[in-house]
Structures are given as C-alpha cells and as structure tokens.
Chain A
Amino acid sequence: MVTLTIDGRKLKAEEGKTILQVAEDNNIYIPTLCFNEAVKAYGACRLCLVEITRRGREKLVASCLYEVEEGLKVKTGSDRVVANRKMLMELLLARCPNNKEVQDLARKLGVEETSFQQDDNQCILCALCVRVCQEVVGVSAISLVNRGVDRQMGTPYYEPSDVCIGCGSCAYVCPVGAIKFEDIGDTRYIKWPNNKMEFKLKKCKTCGSYWIPERQIEYMMEQTGLPPDTFDNCPDCRD
C-alpha cells in the first residue's frame, strides 16, 4: 500500500494501481474518453491529465497510465489542468461539432464553443472499438488506418470484413456513439463512420426472436468447442 494525496485528500492505495483507478475508487471525478477497464490503458485522449508533484517539480501525466507511488501529490483540477482540458475539448469540438456526447462533455468541462475551424466527424479516434475487437473479442476485424490527421477507423480497405463476427462490441464500447448498431428483422446492421456491414441473425427456437449473428455462433463454437445446440435458444429461453 502507498499513501498519496489527491486534491488534498490523503488516500491509501494498492501499489500498481493507476491514479485514475484510485480516483475512481474514491469518487474523485477525472474526465476520460479513451479509457475502459475492459482493455489496456492507451493514453490517447489526454483528458485524464492531472498535475503531479515529483522531486519538487510539477508536471502533467495521463492518470490512466501513471501508477501511484508513495508520497505522490495529485491535483485533478489545477489551473494548468483545467486550461489544458478546455483546449483539448475545443479541439475535440472542432473535430466533432455535431456529436452530442462530445458537446455534453465540453459543456460539463466549461467549453461552449470552439475557436477553431470545424469539421464534421463523429469518431474521436480513441481506438476503444479497435482495442476491444483485438483484446477482448480477439478477431481484429477493425483497425486504425492511415497516419496522423488522416487517421480513420475501419475494416481493411473499408471492405466487408471476413473475420468480423458482428458482435457489436465496438458499438457498445464507443464513448461517443459514433458506431451505429441496429437489429431489424433477421439482419443486424453495424455502421462504422466509414463503412458498414450486415449480418444474418439466428432465430431462437423457443421464442422466435432473432438474437445473435450466425457468425458469432460459429466463432464461439470454434473458441469453446461447445456443440451447436447450445445456441438454439436465446438467453431468456434457456433452462
């Protein structure tokens, strides 16, 4: 255990935990967009930056990546942190001026409008979808393509993916609702910012509702070795 101070509060925390985890454990709010406990911390959105004092010097660190240490002093809302966070939100707002989640977070952090020229994106490039697809689902159907300002997320060459199982984890994990996911009749539609795919759904033997993409069943069988009849019924109709 180490002792640290966050915003003047003296806290005890397990070694190896990050500042963000310790803050969350203690109900201290630090904004973040690219962090999700399901995947490894990535440190890309920079919104979770906090000010720490180390060897007498103050610096900003990404709290999702920085592990707590004995005697650490953390400020989550210093002037420097707030000014930078606002600027980051202005940049995000310029990128995604019409995204509701981005607008809401901006307002929450005290930013009403952006000083920059505006584009019209929905995706904030936090890569959560990509990381979930790789680290949790294990199929890497989507990735980030191109470099720098041209960066986008998509399937290879924006073509229908051979490996995507249509599970929708990407849509579920997206913090700004940039990936649309809808089941209509026997078809699931996943709409990423730059391309889309359709998946045939399987019907539940008991209630008759369409509940899971056939590809997802194939993949789960492959992974687990379970027999096909395991997936005959939807979770609601199972014994």
Chain B
Amino acid sequence: MAKKQQTSKRLNSVAALEALRKAIVASRDPDKPCITVCGGTGCLALGARDVIAGFKREIEKGGLEGKVSLKITGCPGFCEKGPLVVIKPEDILYQQVKAGDAAEIISETVKGNIVDRLLYVDPNTGKKTTYESDVPFYKKQKRLLLGSNSSIDPTVIEDYLALGGYAALGRALSGMTPEGIIDEVKKSGLRGRGGGGFPTGAKWETCRKAEGEKRYVICNCDEGDPGAFMDRSLMEGNPHSVLEGMIIGAYAVGSHEGYIYVRNEYPLAVKNAEIAIEQAEEYGLLGRNILGSGFDFSVKISRGGGAFVCGESTALMASLEGKVGEPRAKYVHTVEKGLWEQPTNLNNVETWANVPLIIKDGAGRYAKIGSEGSKGTKIFSLVGKINNTGLIEVPMGITLREIIYGIGGGIPEGKKFKAVQTGGPSGGCIPDSFLDLPVDFDQLDKAGSMMGSGGMIIMDENSCMVDIARYFINFLEGESCGKCLPCREGLKRMSQILTGITEGRGKDGDIDLLERLSATLVDCSLCALGSTAPNPVLTTLRYFRDEYEAHIKDKRCPAGVCKALVTYSIDEEKCPGCGLCAKACPVEAITDMGKKKPAILDKEKCIKCGACYDVCNLGAVIRK
C-alpha cells in the first residue's frame, strides 16, 4: 500500500510538476494569517522551541487551526534579535519573542492587529518598524537566496514547490542541453562561493570534458570557520534549493552520483538534507528517470568528523573515500581526477543554491547584479563587535561601510570601528581606511584579504590586532593536518612568536622573521590552508605595524588587551573613594579607603582582569 502511494506521488513530466505546483498554490489561502517562527540554530538557542510550543498550545486551546497557521522556517538572518516571528502575508516582524507572547500574538493577529511592543525599534532613531522589509538590517540586503527562508518549512517540499521550486530543473531537463546549461552558468559570471572564486561554468565545462568512467558532483557543506554559518543556514533553511542546483549541475556535467559532505556538528543541516533527498526522490525529482527525462541522478549524504581541513576539496574527497582527510597536491585538478580518481565537480552550498536562480531567470538577469568581476549576491555572517549580528545577503560590490553601518547598525556602545576580518580565520584584517572598499572577490584580494566563504568579523577600538593575529594563527595551528612541513612546523613557530610578543617577550627581528616565515608558508604549503594561513599576520603587519612595534619595543599593548603588558593603577586626583572598583575586584587587590580617600591598588595581587577599569565611570582607574 505504502509503495503504491509512493508511485502515485511520482512526477513523470515537467507538465506534471507544473500541474502539481498549481494544485499546491490553489489549495492554500494566501490571505490566511501564517505565523512563521525561525527554527534556525540561532533562534533555537535563544529559546525558539518554547515559542513554537507556546504557539501550538494557544492555537489548539482556541481551536484556531482554521484561522491561523503556524510554520517553522529556516533562518531569516537577524539572529541578534531572535527568536524571530514573522506574520505572513504582511511580513510583520516580531523580535525577541518569548513563549509568553504567543497568546497575544495569536489573538491580535486573528483580529488583524499588530502587537506594538514586539516590533523592532531602531536604537539610533528610536523609531518602530512594523514590516520586515523596512527594518534597516534588511533594507539594504538583496536576499535572492535567503529571502525564501522565512516562507519555507524546510521539511515540506510543497513549500518550496509553491514558490517556484524545481522550475529551473524542469526548464533544464526539458529545453536545455548540458552544454547550454554550462553556457548559461558561464554567462551568469557565477564564481565559486567556497572561497576560491573560480568561475563555476568553466569548472563544469572542464569536468564534463574530462575523461573518466564516471563523474561525481559534490556539495561542500563542511563549513568550519569560527563565526561562520552561511552554508549551515542555507542547508538548514532551504535544502531543496541546494539539491535543485546539484541536480542541474549533475545533468550539465554528466554525473549520476552526488554527495553532500556535511559536518556532523550540523545536526539540523544533516536532518533537513536527508528529508529533502527523501522527498525529492518520492516526487521523482531525484533517482531514476527524473521528471520523465531519462536522466538519472542520486545523492547521498556523507557526514564529516569536524576537521577544518576537510573543507579543502582534496581532503574532503579523501575523507569521502574513507581515508584520513588530508589534502594532496592539485597539479591534476579534481575536475579531472577527483573522487575515486574520477572527474569530480565540487561546489560549495551557496554556489549550488545560486544555480536554480540562473537557470530559472536567465544568466542575463543574474549578471546584472553585482560588480564587474563578481556577479550575484554573497551571504556573509556578520559577527563580532557589531550591533546587528546575523546573516546577511548583499549584492557583490556593496561597500564595507554599507554593510557595517547600514546593515550592521554600527559598533556597539558607540565605539570606534577598527578592522574587519573577512574570509574566515585565514582571511585578512582590513582597517577603516578601506571602509569604502567595494566587497567582491578581486577587491578583497587586493586589500590583502579574501572573500573566503563569507565570514565577516568586526573589531572595535578595544581589539588588539597582535592578539587577533595570534588567535587566528592558534586556530589554524590546531587545524593544520600536519602533512606538509611549512604548515605544521611554520604555524607552530608563528604561534610561538606571536604569543611571545603578546606576553612581553617580543624582540627585535620578530617582525622580520614573521614576514619571512609567512612568505614560505604562502609559497610552499601543500594546500590553501597553509598558503592562506599567514593572511591575518601579513595584513595586521601591513595595516597595524605600529601595534606590533609598541608590543615589541615599548612593551605596551595600545588596546589594553594583552595582560602581560598592561598595568592598572588608581589616579589619586580623580578617585572619589566610592569603592566600586574594590567591590568589583575578584581578588581583593583594591582596598576601599572610605569616601574622599583614593582607593589603593596592590599591583602584586592584581590579576589584570580589568573589572575595576570597566566599573569606574570617572576615569580614575588608569590602564597603561
């Protein structure tokens, strides 16, 4: 019986797909209020599960199933203000919603009212905003990929179909040749979003032409950069868009077998990808004879064990083959000899998700978005010292200023922007003189950084750039696979030198040694992990050399971060003897001498935690 049902769902032609789409759309009342709750990892961590349970309870209690529907969606991006709730079809945005708000939201929504107190308030203007698209965070974005996240329950393929999902696949399989598709992707100007920025169409073409018994396509969802969650949110929130891209790509390169390599630390991404594959198979969008076209393609999921280096394509393929995830030299490219020595086309999650857009709307329309050498949009995870932490999608070529101040809402507590690190741990730190830099592959390269997969970490005036470089080198040292000498030994020494500098042991010649060592890592490393690893050091040396010199020559940390180089003291003129600092001190290094008598700080006892400095509003605690 179950089997019969399965066969009945199967779509045997593009016409059947379109008919199904119409039926799904017709069965849905576009005016019926729909409460969508973000079920992305960020909002779940902020308590979205309780909010969802609250809505379910209230709907059931009031018997309101007919009047309002509830949908758990992927991440719309504004993580800072989660848990997020959007009321459709108007797109009213409620932020920081709690389970206790459910009853009020439902009763007001049913009446067509708005819950004023849950609306977003602009911290700069104090203005309340009702609709999602009017919130400054969203206003300057162009959400081609993420835009559907808040309309789709990622576990329901019909939601994706209702929004035009798999129409691109229909178009590809019914009216386009593989060469035609490759041509279209080439014309679109799409470049790989995983970091390298290699032209996607050219890659597909080489793979198609390469000789081999079999061809494979792979989706790289092994996102491992600290603070990055672009691929995660796409795979969690809209897995069918990735899958559709993969099927089109497989048809174009002539592959019948694909893999999604996703890290096991992304359980929701794994789960939603699994569900999506199952549903696509049921509808005949994956498997044998897709949409009656005669084209076969299946996708399997392979879960990574959490090694950062496995995001590198050759290491990923080794891992997929069941070997230790270590890279190999790429003098013969993976598009010619990749997985099991066969031609393999690997693209990143975001690259795959762009493909349906290009095929559906045409390369011409796609290529209108973006800058000259970088087309389309790019998703960034905007994190660090920024007001609006979250996931953003912007057209290529937008300036850093627009991202940081327009979308990100600037730096918290009115502090000064110092630098932005783009491109993940092996990206570079770009200073404020580059705020008007258009963000695209080539411009970021020129500035000494890189696009990477799209991490964007903002640093303010309180960040020590030497310490930042030390942090990222430490991370990379821990993630180096250890195969090649320059990466393994070089990062270890680089880390020792940087740690020495931050701990007051810096000496003459350290900067020169760091530069020479960096040059060797860039030139000699076996894979991109090692060859890009020195970027944080090289860019901070390029733009913040004075900070290195202050640490080494003056034994001083200008940002007051490096504990070994900082001393705290009390300014006796300014101290009114309020005792706040003494209370804040966790080790009783400060003695409160009573009102109007300056506090006394015992430098021997002081652990340099900075608690006294933070509580004193009068500037009576001096940090040097």
Contacts and interface: CB of A to CB of B under 8 A. Distances in A.
Contacts of A60: 523-524
A84 B331 contact: no
Contacts of B480: 147-149
Contact of B524 (A67, A88, A95, A146): A88
A172 B5 CA distance: 65
Q: How many A residues are at the interface, by size bracket? A: 20 to 34
A61 interface: yes
Most chain A beta-carbon neighbours within 10 Å: one of B329, B516, B519, B524: B524
Most chain B beta-carbon neighbours within 10 Å: one of A47, A117, A148: A148
A147 B477 CA distance: 10
Given A147-B482, A148-B477, A49 B524 contact: yes
A44 B483 CA distance: 6
A60 B486 CA distance: 14
Interface string B311-331: 000000000000010001101
Contacts of B486: 46, 87-88, 91
B479 interface: yes
Contact of A84 (B478, B491, B520): B520
Contacts of B492: 149
B478 A65 contact: no
A123 interface: no
A94 interface: yes
Nearest to B513: A115
Given A62-B329, A65-B331, A94-B489, A147 B307 contact: yes
A66 interface: yes
Interface in A47-92: 47, 49, 60-62, 65-67, 80, 83-84, 87-88, 91-92
A74 B472 CA distance: 35
Most chain B beta-carbon neighbours within 10 Å: one of A67, A146, A147: A147
Given A84-B520, A84-B523, A115-B513, A150 B482 contact: yes
Contact of B479 (A66, A95, A146, A148): A148
A100 B552 CA distance: 35
Nearest to B332: A67
A91 B485 contact: yes
Given A44-B526, A88-B520, A116 B481 contact: no
A43 interface: yes
Most chain B beta-carbon neighbours within 10 Å: one of A66, A115, A117, A124: A115
Contacts of B509: 115
Contact of A65 (B329, B477, B485, B525): B329
Contacts of A124: 485
B133 interface: no
A147 B524 contact: no
Contact of A44 (B324, B485, B493): B485
Most chain B beta-carbon neighbours within 10 Å: one of A45, A67, A83, A149: A149
A148 B496 contact: no
B490 interface: yes
Nearest to B328: A43
Nearest to A150: B482
B447 interface: no
B484 A92 contact: no
Interface in A103-135: 115-117, 124-125, 127
A75 B390 CA distance: 49
A91 B489 contact: yes
Contacts of B513: 115
Interface in B483-530: 483-486, 488-493, 496, 509, 513, 516-517, 519-520, 523-526
A151 interface: yes
A148 B488 contact: yes
Contacts of A151: 482, 488
A16 to B, nearest CB: 12
A62 B329 CA distance: 8
B493 A117 contact: yes
Contacts of B331: 61, 65-67
Contacts of B519: 83-84, 87
A118 to B, nearest CB: 10
B488 A149 contact: yes
A157 B441 CA distance: 45
Contacts of B484: 43-46
Nearest to A43: B329
Most chain B beta-carbon neighbours within 10 Å: one of A46, A80, A125, A144: A46
B66 to A, nearest CB: 57
Contact of A45 (B328, B485, B490, B517): B485
Contacts of A61: 329, 331
A93 to B, nearest CB: 10
B481 to A, nearest CB: 6
Most chain A beta-carbon neighbours within 10 Å: one of B307, B493, B517: B493
Contacts of A44: 483-485, 526
Interface string B384-396: 0000000000000
B482 A148 contact: yes
A201 B622 CA distance: 74
A46 B522 CA distance: 12
A46 B485 contact: yes
Contacts of B496: 116-117
B206 to A, nearest CB: 16
Nearest to B520: A87
A46 B485 CA distance: 7
A60 B479 CA distance: 24
A43 B472 CA distance: 26
Contacts of B517: 87
A44 B324 CA distance: 15
Nearest to A115: B513
Contacts of B520: 83-84, 87-88, 91
A115 B500 CA distance: 14
B332 to A, nearest CB: 8
Nearest to B486: A46
A49 B489 CA distance: 17
A92 B509 CA distance: 20
Contacts of B516: 83, 87
Nearest to B476: A148
Contacts of A91: 485-486, 489-490, 493, 520
Contacts of A84: 519-520, 523-524
A209 B92 CA distance: 90
Interface in A147-165: 147-151
A210 B178 CA distance: 68
Contacts of A147: 307, 480-482
Contacts of B483: 44, 127
A35 to B, nearest CB: 13
A148 B481 contact: yes
A47 B486 CA distance: 10
A117 to B, nearest CB: 5
Given A45-B484, A94-B489, 4 more contacts: A45-B485, A46-B485, A62-B329, A149-B491
7 contacts: A45-B485, A49-B523, A60-B524, A65-B329, A84-B524, A115-B509, A149-B488
Interface of A: 43-47, 49, 60-62, 65-67, 80, 83-84, 87-88, 91-92, 94-95, 115-117, 124-125, 127, 144, 146-151
Leading 7 A-B pairs by shortest Cβ distance: A151-B482, A87-B520, A91-B489, A148-B480, A148-B482, A116-B493, A46-B524
